[in-house]
């Protein structure tokens, strides 16, 4: 890790540490003015915060809505309880426990480790299933799988009486469960650990790749990200934190039963996460505090100490549940990103830390002396049928890394389909695709990207919530090759070449159309392609902008030493940039040659204007 990176990570830590301090001091202060009830409340809040942070790591970074985390919590809680309860107590509660578990005698610390291990193994299996189901932000199948997990665990806990003592009584540590303060020190440590983990994960390579896939699954694959890997790591890390929190929760309460980790707790934790802002670690904590306070307040209002006859219709038991449900619903309808969106305290604090001007950057290894050997892309005899419609009919193009090749043709000619075939988004019925003689057929889009073909999208698919710079950085981090070949200075150069350096901290969704197009170009380039495949890079641009784009595309391509295949309809642009042009009409290549030759070809004129 470079010194600079280490320093920036340390600064990042200011955020979670100061929030931790405020939370703990505030809690202690509040508790010191009240009896043990307040004490218990604060302890519970801190534990809930750990669990919510755990959920945030997965839901926030991947965008997959999980109802299963409390199910993982139940597994962890039971594993912890069964390990940590003393054999004497176990023999009276679950004398018939399988695998001789009733004789196991472990310290709470050992039990937490076992509970993490077991839960992570289960999570790994579930994670494989999620990956197979093609989980991505908002995907239904993934949410239902996690929901099913919550139910399965609940059913097992209720019915495997030999192990869990069933649903009625549950397992308990001591008759009264009076262990409230024993775990405090551990709770502080675990909370601090959870905050630091959640916050740093957001900044790590894997975290960023996960966020990119959350913003746009297809675009992420197109720069070489395999979302399944990111999601799995997020899940395992997230479940580890949830396991710790759940074990503490059981320890703190002194007992466990199936209802403790079921729908109600799911509602509570998810509401906390959503109210604060699921993409923000700071937000998760803010949500925990607000919802805890709100729940307490509604509980107080609905309790016996408030007696207002006129409001009796609303001040009654159940008010707390309404508060939770309505908060979730209200935020989803009016402010789905939560209070903080993805705002982080440390990012805000960083503004006040003076920046050193002399920043050392990793030097790019791409220099004039490091130009790659000539490489080639061959597309031969590609046929694509959509139903009865033949979108491509033996289309072929060739390109080498030292040239810019254009692909033009009227609307519906099959240009984008050809690009989709090359990048693995659409399957072809016939044909051969090779990069440097190596076949890339049947590869997943992210493997094709890593094989050197990176595309842009006609209808703009940026990672909207990420900043301009982050969009480019993520692409550089996506594949191992890109990271080693292109240094961090490449990012600056790309920002400079595309004229985005003044906008580098803006969110991608705030960009106007032309800049968004240029960012697509820079992002694709940062993935270190052999060939940049550009789908209508100038569409929607003014004539002036598209003229400037000629130079921009060329200089970006030569910076990274890539060839270019570009689809466009503006012959002005095509003429200015291309060495060679293919004309596609009705799925067939009808003409090839230099731009001048093309513009004089009668077949091309007919293809565009019709007639004969």
Partner 1 sequence: MLEVESLTTRYGSISALRDVGLSVGAGEVVCLIGPNGAGKTTLLSTISGLLNPVSGSIRLENEEITSWSPDRILRSGLALVPEHRRIFGDLTVDENLLVGGVTVASARRLELKEEVISLFPVLGEKLATEAGYLSGGEAQQLAIGRALMSEPKILLMDEPALGLAPVLAEVVFELIDQLRQNGQTLLVVEQNARRILEVADRGYVMRSGNIVISGDSDELISRDDLFETYIGKTDSNHD
Partner 2 sequence: MTELIQQIVDGLGRGGIYALIALGIAVIFGVMHLVNFAHGELITVSAYSAYGLFQAGWDWWLIAPAVILIAGMTSVVIEFLAFRWVRGAPDFTMLMTSFGIHFVVQALFVMYVSANFRQFPRPDWIFNTVKIAGISFEVFDVAVIFFTLLTLIATFWILQKTMFGISLRAAAEDFDAARLMGVRSDRIIRGAFALSGLLAGVAAVFWLMRSGQAGPTAGLTPMLKGVLAALIGGLGSLGGAVLGGVTLGLVEVMLISRLPEGLVGLTDGIVFLLIAFLFVFRPQGFISVRRAERV
| The one among 310, 387, 437, 602 contacting partner 1 by CB under 8 A | 387
132 binds, among partner 2, partner 1, none (CB under 5 to 8 A by kind): partner 2
Cβ count near 155 (within 10 Å): 12
Interface map 576-605 toward partner 1 (x if CB under 8 A)? x---------x--------xx--x-----x
Q: Which residues would be at the binding site for partner 2 (CB under 8 A)?
A: 63, 65, 67, 126, 128-129, 132-134, 137-141, 143-145, 147-149, 151-152, 155-156, 158-160, 218, 263, 267, 270, 274, 316-319, 321-322, 324-326, 328-330, 332-333, 336, 416, 420, 425, 457-459
Residue among 376, 370, 294, 416 at smallest CA distance from 558: 370
With CB under 5 to 8 Å by kind, the binding choice for 92 among partner 2, partner 1, none is none
DSSP structural state of residue 467: B
Contact residue for partner 1 among 410, 487, 499, 593 (CB under 8 A): 410
Number of shown-chain residues binding partner 1 (CB under 8 A): 33
- Of the two residues 93 and 271, which places its CB atom closer to partner 2 in the complex? 271
Return the number of the residue (197 or 234) whose C-beta is nearest partner 2.
Answer: 234
CB atoms within 10 A of CB 132: 11
Using rule CB under 8 A, residue 610 touches partner 1? yes
Q: What is the DSSP string of 432-446?
A: EEEETTEE-TT--HH
Binder of partner 1 out of 204, 434, 504, 539 (CB under 8 A): 539
299 binds partner 1 (CB under 8 A): no
H helix intervals, 262-280: 263-276
- Is residue 388 involved in binding partner 1 (CB under 8 A)? yes
- Say whether residue 571 binds partner 1 (CB under 8 A): yes
- Rounded-to-integer distance, Cα 458 and Cα 475, Å: 18
Residue 519 CB, shortest distance to partner 2, in Å, is 18
- Grouping H, G, I as helix, E, B as strand and the rest as coil, residue 606 is helix
In the complex, the smallest distance separating the C-beta of residue 8 from partner 2, rounded to whole angstroms, is 30
Q: What are the Cα distances from residue 268, in Å, to 80, 263, 444, 468, 598?
A: 22, 9, 39, 35, 65
The CA distance from 186 to 177, in Å, is 17
Q: How far is the CB of 109 from partner 1 (least distance, A)?
A: 54
Angle at 267 between CA 263 and CA 268, to 5 degrees: 120
467 binds partner 1 (CB under 8 A): no
Q: Which residues pair with 66 in a beta bridge?
A: none
With binding defined as CB under 8 A, does residue 521 bind partner 1?
A: no
Site for partner 1 in 436-465 (CB under 8 A): 460
Instruction: Name the binder of 147 from partner 2, partner 1, none, CB < 5-8 A by kind.
Output: partner 2
For the CA atoms of 427, 432, 433, 437, the dihedral, rounded to the nearest 10 degrees, stands at 150
Torsion on CA atoms 513, 515, 520, 524, rounded to nearest 10: 170
The option from partner 1, partner 2, none interacting with 95 (CB < 5 to 8 A, set by class) reads none
Least distance from C-beta 512 to partner 1, angstroms?
5
Alpha helices in 451-579 (DSSP H): 468-478, 480-485, 488-497, 513-526, 543-560, 571-577
Q: Which does 540 bind (CB under 5 to 8 A by kind): partner 1, partner 2, none?
A: partner 1
- Tokens coding 10: 């340390």
Task: Based on the shown chain and the rule CB under 8 A, indicate whether residue 536 belongs to the binding site for partner 1.
Answer: yes
Four-residue CA torsion sign, 539, 541, 547, 553: negative
CA distance 524 to 394: 28
Residues that bind partner 1 (CB under 8 A): 387-389, 408, 410-412, 460, 511-513, 516, 536, 539-540, 542-543, 569-573, 575-576, 586, 595-596, 599, 605, 608-611
């Amino acid at each position: 890790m470079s010194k600079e990176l280490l320093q920036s990570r340390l600064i990042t830590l200011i955020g979670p540490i100061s929030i931790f301090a405020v939370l703990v001091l505030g809690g202690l202060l509040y508790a010191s003015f009240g009896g043990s009830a307040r004490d218990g409340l604060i302890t519970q809040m801190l534990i809930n915060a750990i669990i919510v942070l755990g959920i945030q790591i997965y839901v926030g970074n991947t965008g997959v809505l999980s109802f299963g985390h409390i199910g993982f919590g139940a597994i962890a809680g039971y594993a912890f309880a069964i390990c940590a309860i003393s054999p004497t107590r176990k023999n009276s509660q679950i004398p018939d426990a399988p695998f001789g578990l009733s004789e196991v005698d472990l310290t709470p610390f050992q039990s937490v480790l076992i509970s993490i291990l077991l839960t992570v193994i289960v999570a790994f299996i579930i994670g494989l299933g999620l990956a197979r189901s093609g989980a991505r932000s908002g995907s239904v199948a993934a949410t239902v799988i996690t929901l099913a997990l919550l139910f399965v665990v609940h059913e097992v806990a209720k019915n495997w009486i030999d192990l869990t003592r069933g649903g009625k009584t549950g397992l308990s540590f001591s008759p009264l469960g009076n262990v409230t303060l024993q775990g405090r020190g551990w709770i502080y440590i675990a909370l601090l650990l959870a905050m630091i983990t959640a916050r740093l994960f957001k900044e790590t390579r894997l975290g960023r790749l996960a966020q990119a896939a959350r913003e746009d699954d297809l675009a992420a694959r197109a720069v070489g990200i395999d979302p399944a890997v990111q999601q799995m790591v997020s899940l395992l890390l997230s479940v580890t934190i949830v396991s710790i929190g759940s074990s503490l929760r059981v320890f703190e309460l002194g007992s466990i039963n199936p209802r403790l980790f079921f729908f109600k707790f799911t509602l509570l934790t998810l509401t906390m996460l959503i109210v604060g802002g699921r993409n923000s670690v700071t937000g998760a904590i803010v949500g925990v505090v607000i919802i805890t306070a709100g729940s307490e307040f509604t509980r107080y209002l609905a309790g016996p100490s408030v007696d207002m006859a006129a409001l009796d219709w609303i001040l009654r038991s159940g008010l707390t549940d309404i508060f939770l449900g309505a908060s979730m619903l209200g935020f989803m309808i009016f402010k789905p990103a939560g209070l903080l969106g993805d705002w982080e305290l440390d990012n805000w604090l960083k503004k006040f830390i003076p920046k050193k001007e002399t920043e050392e950057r990793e030097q790019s290894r791409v220099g004039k002396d490091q130009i790659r050997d000539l490489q080639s892309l061959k597309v031969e005899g590609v046929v694509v049928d959509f139903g009865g419609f033949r979108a491509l009919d033996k289309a072929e193009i060739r390109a080498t890394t030292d040239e810019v090749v254009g692909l033009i043709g009227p609307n519906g000619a099959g240009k984008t389909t050809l690009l989709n075939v090359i990048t693995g988004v659409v399957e072809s019925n016939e044909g051969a695709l090779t990069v440097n003689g190596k076949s890339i057929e049947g590869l997943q889009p992210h493997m094709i990207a890593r094989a050197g073909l990176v595309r842009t999208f006609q209808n703009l698919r940026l990672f909207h919530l990420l900043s301009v710079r982050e969009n480019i950085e993520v692409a550089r981090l996506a594949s191992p090759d890109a990271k080693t070949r292109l240094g961090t200075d490449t990012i600056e150069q790309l920002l400079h070449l595309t004229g985005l350096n003044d906008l580098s901290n803006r969110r991608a969704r705030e960009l106007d159309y032309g800049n968004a197009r240029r960012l697509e170009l820079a992002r694709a380039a940062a993935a270190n392609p052999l060939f940049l495949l550009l789908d209508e890079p100038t569409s929607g641009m003014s004539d002036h902008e598209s003229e400037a784009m000629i130079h921009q595309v060329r200089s970006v391509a030569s910076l990274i030493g890539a060839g270019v295949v570009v689809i466009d309809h503006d012959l002005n642009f095509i003429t200015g940039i291309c060495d060679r042009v293919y004309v596609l009409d009705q799925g067939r290549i009808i003409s090839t040659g230099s731009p001048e030759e093309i513009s004089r070809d009668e077949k091309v004129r007919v293809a565009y204007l019709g007639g004969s």
